[in-house]
Amino acid sequence: MDQEVQAERMTREDVEMVGGGRARDERVAIAGKRLHFVGIGGCGMSGLARICKRLGAVCSGSDMNESVVVKGLRGDGILVAPPEVGFMDFLDADSELDKLVISAAIKAEHPEVLAAKAKGIEVVKYAKLLGELMIGRQGVAIAGTHGKSSTTSMLAHVLISAGLDPSFIVGANCEQIGGGSRVGCDVVGKDFLLAEACEFDRSFHQFHPTHGVILNVEADHLDVYKNLDEIVEAFKVFAEQLPGAGGGGSLLINHEMGCRLEIAGGLDCEVQTLGYSSEADWQVRLNKGKVYLDRGGEKVCSWKAALPGMHMAYNAAAAGITANRLGANWEAICEALESFTGLDRRMQVIGEKILGDEDLTDDKRGRKRGGKVVVLDDYGHHPTEVDATLRALRNHYDPKRLICVFQPHQHSRTRFLMEQFATSFGEADIVIVPHIYFVRDSEAERHAVTSADLVDRLRQKGVQAMHLYPFEAIVEQLSLITGDGDLVVTMGAGDVWKVARWYMDT
């Protein structure tokens, strides 16, 4: 094991003493601390800044872009330096800064990091500070390759609806629960702090939750991990952060995963499984739009599915089980899950595009050009997510044609998972692929694979696929080919969402 990874790993003896010898139930003092967040406009960073401010810290930040989030932070009384204002000027004016908080994406050579270190200011990652806030509180960490944002948002909605007043940070916007973060009750025993636990950069090793959920484990972030074995090991380390059953620790884990026993074996916390099999501790079933949750072969509850797809039924079940463990009753849980309206970029309905009167004729292929097209947007960027989402959309909407505009996210992910991607678009009638969204990868990786490579593999699989760029060209193509009864979905973790909105506006 690499020395850096070994240094981050906590042993079983460390779990009850965290934060430099601090007992697990001793909260980290944050009131009065001066914190500056680099990249404060991100979902997680903005949420953490808001929570820290509500807990008494003096917070400020910087971001490369002006955005709705940045404007909202300023409205909440958090100073955010405009992009044109140098951070060094800020440091000169604020020499009393206690911590510089950075996300995992900020490099060690970043100018703001270098300036802070030169002044002797402590630099901490987002995950470490969030993990410290879990100490002395009932932290709930939702981990997994897929479904973290949806499950955390559902759990937050259920607890709010049940009157349990949680604090949370979600990596996406959910208007129904007030956005991407919230500060709720902080009274001991009622101080629930919900957060996504991301495996990228092994960030979730910095968390100190009481309750954990592992939704699934698959190969991803292979720019960080050598192989699936390393990923499984990382999830095992995450699970080992949970306190023993005597300390209230619990883990809910996917029953069907081949690595389940490897991760959960030897844990001292209470472990329960969730899956589709009757052998799971909790079995989830979906039938004609209704979700059923069984325990030991007997039905515990059922609810009308708020979002389509078996994967969303599974996420909802995980949220419901966790909410019940935290004190919500099943009646309140079912009502809340039925009323959940979703979050941004998760099978989000953008609208119905009404085709103009001038198109109310048959085209050369005999397809009526009038009517309407349903337009959605989704964050899916992993082959499993693509496949599950397209299947859910096909089953739920039953469109005449399912047209997917997929923007690959990261060249390394596209290269490592090329064959999986090539088989994940079976439900799509047409796939349009723009350039790969470039983030974190090296220039060498950037030249190792292209969108054209993915299109070639899709066409070899019999999928009608094309590579188009820029986004304006994709919108033009959609305007030419779409007809009544079609469904268009934009997918990817980059900025492909723009295509859906621009198409709606044409």
Confidence category of residue 84, pLDDT binned at 50, 70, 90: low
Terminal alpha carbon distance of the chain: 54
Is 409 annotated in a binding site? The answer is no
Is 412 annotated in a binding site? The answer is no
229-238, 327-336, 366-375: lowest mean pLDDT where? 366-375
Average pLDDT of the segment spanning 277-286:
95
User: Which pLDDT value is given to residue 363?
Assistant: 53
Average pLDDT of the segment spanning 115-144:
92
User: Which pLDDT value is given to residue 443?
Assistant: 81
Amino acid at 487: L
Q: Are 97 and 116 in contact (CB under 8 A)?
A: yes
Cβ neighbours, 10 Å, residue 64: 9
Q: Each residue of 157-216: pLDDT tens digit?
A: 999 999 999 999 998 888 889 888 888 888 988 999 999 998 888 989 999 999 999 999
Q: Each residue of 370-385: pLDDT tens digit?
A: 689 999 999 888 899 8
Q: Does residue 174 come out as left (phi exceeding 0), alpha (psi in the -120 to 50 range) or beta?
A: beta
Is 414 annotated in a binding site? The answer is no
Residues in contact with 192: Cβ distance below 8 Å, sequence separation at least 6, in sequence order: 137, 138, 140, 159, 164, 165, 166, 167, 184, 185, 326
Largest CA distance in the chain: 74
Burial class of residue 489 (count of CB atoms within 10 Å of its CB; 0-12, 13-18, 19+): buried
What is the set of domains in the chain, with CATH numbers?
28-126 (3.40.50.720), 135-339 (3.40.1190.10), 348-505 (3.90.190.20)
Residue 359 has pLDDT above 70, yes or no: no
Residue 287 has pLDDT above 60, yes or no: yes
> Of 149, 151, 163, which Cα lies nearest the Cα of 192?
163
Query: The tokens of 492 are what?
Result: 């990817």
CA distance 495 to 473: 15
User: Which pLDDT value is given to residue 92?
Assistant: 61
* Residue-averaged pLDDT of the chain: 87
Helices (H), 76-110: 87-93
- Radius of gyration (C-alpha) of the chain in whole angstroms: 23
Is 147 annotated in a binding site? The answer is yes
CA distance 71 to 324: 36
User: Which pLDDT value is given to residue 65?
Assistant: 78
Average pLDDT of the segment spanning 32-51:
89
Is 146 annotated in a binding site? The answer is yes
Q: What HEC string does 23-72 produce? A: ECCCCCCCCCCEEEEECCCCHHHHHHHHHHHHCCCEEEEECCCCCHHHHH
Average pLDDT of the segment spanning 215-239:
91
Percent of the chain with pLDDT over 90: 57
Q: Each residue of 401-432: pLDDT tens digit?
A: 999 999 999 898 888 889 989 999 999 999 99
Is 144 annotated in a binding site? The answer is yes
Average pLDDT of the segment spanning 500-505:
94
